[in-house]
């Protein structure tokens, strides 16, 4: 399986990083080795001094397809989770400045902890799907899927025009405002629809 990640999908987050609003989705990928095995701590990588958290809704692809039309895109995902797109912001800044790819900053081992998935039909998408991150019992990020610039369907349609989606692929759908640095011994608690669904410690 592969992990596709959307960047800059919330206005307030694009603003906080001084990025222009995208006219089309920005995406990049992480390998399956980026997943954090359940009940494991997250070890702060030695190659960065500015590791940022980004809490995001994560879709699971339920059917393979390519060049999917937006009106059919809803048939290609049926489960949702919440995850962290860990980012070595210092390395990413260097990549951006030099116009280089982002893999060293984004695709490293265990950079994509993801909670257990839940059926999407259990959520009311009209009201928006709420999600968030508490660190050491303090809210750091709160998001709602209704604030996304590009909808789940738009993302599926756009990405599948370049990369075939396979059953079991994950799609990180972008982070809301409030990203910030991770510290040793932080306790991460991820929320989906106001319920805690995953926690881990930073070692
Ligand atoms: Mg992200």
Average pLDDT over the chain reads: 96
Q: Which residues contact 70 (CB under 8 A, 6 or more apart)?
A: 153, 154, 156, 157
User: What's the pLDDT at 16?
Assistant: 83
- 178-203: pLDDT as tens digits: 999 999 999 999 999 999 999 999 99
CA of 125 to the centre of ligand 1 (A): 21
User: What's the pLDDT at 1?
Assistant: 97
User: What's the pLDDT at 173?
Assistant: 98
CA of 58 to the centre of ligand 1 (A): 11
Per DSSP, the residues of 182-196 read --TT-EEEEEETTEE
Cα atoms in the 13 Å half-sphere on the side-chain side of 73: 20
Q: Give the other-Cβ count within 10 Å of 109's Cβ.
A: 13
CA of 197 to the centre of ligand 1 (A): 19
What mean pLDDT comes out for the span 95-104?
Answer: 95
Longest dimension (CA), the chain: 45
What mean pLDDT comes out for the span 64-79?
Answer: 98
Reference 21, options 32, 7, 35; nearest CA is 7
CA of 68 to the centre of ligand 1 (A): 23
Residue 17 has pLDDT above 90, yes or no: no
- 7 CA to centre of own chain: 8
Q: Which CA distances in Å does 24 have to 67, 155, 159, 176, 196?
A: 16, 9, 10, 17, 32
pLDDT bucket at 12, cuts 50 / 70 / 90: confident
Token digits for 45?
């990588």
Q: Is 133 exposed, middle or buried (0-12, 13-18, 19+ CB in 10 A)?
A: buried
- 136-189: pLDDT as tens digits: 999 999 999 999 999 999 999 999 999 999 999 999 999 999 999 999 999 999
Reference 176, options 201, 152, 142; nearest CA is 142
CA of 70 to the centre of ligand 1 (A): 22
Global confidence as pTM = 0.96
CA of 13 to the centre of ligand 1 (A): 10
User: What's the pLDDT at 148?
Assistant: 96
- Which structural domains are found in the chain, ordered by start? 3-37+51-201 (3.90.850.10)
């Amino acid at each position: 399986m592969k992990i596709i990640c959307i960047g800059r999908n919330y206005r307030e987050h694009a603003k906080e990083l001084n990025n222009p609003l995208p006219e089309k989705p920005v995406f990049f990928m992480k390998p399956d080795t980026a997943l954090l095995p359940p009940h494991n701590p997250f070890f702060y990588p030695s190659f960065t001094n500015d590791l940022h958290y980004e809490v995001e809704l994560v879709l699971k692809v339920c059917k393979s397809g390519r060049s999917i039309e937006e009106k059919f895109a809803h048939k290609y995902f049926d489960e949702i989770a919440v995850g962290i797109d860990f980012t070595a912001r210092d390395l990413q800044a260097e990549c951006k400045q030099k116009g280089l790819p982002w893999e060293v900053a984004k695709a490293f081992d265990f950079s994509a902890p993801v909670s257990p998935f839940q059926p999407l039909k259990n959520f009311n998408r009209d009201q928006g799907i709420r999600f968030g991150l508490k660190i050491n019992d303090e809210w750091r990020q709160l998001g709602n899927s209704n604030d996304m610039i590009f909808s789940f369907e738009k993302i599926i349609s756009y990405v599948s025009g370049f990369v075939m989606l396979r059953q079991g692929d994950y799609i990180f759908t972008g982070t809301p405002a409030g990203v910030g640095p991770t510290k040793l011994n932080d306790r991460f608690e991820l929320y989906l629809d106001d319920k805690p669904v995953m926690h881990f410690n930073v070692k």
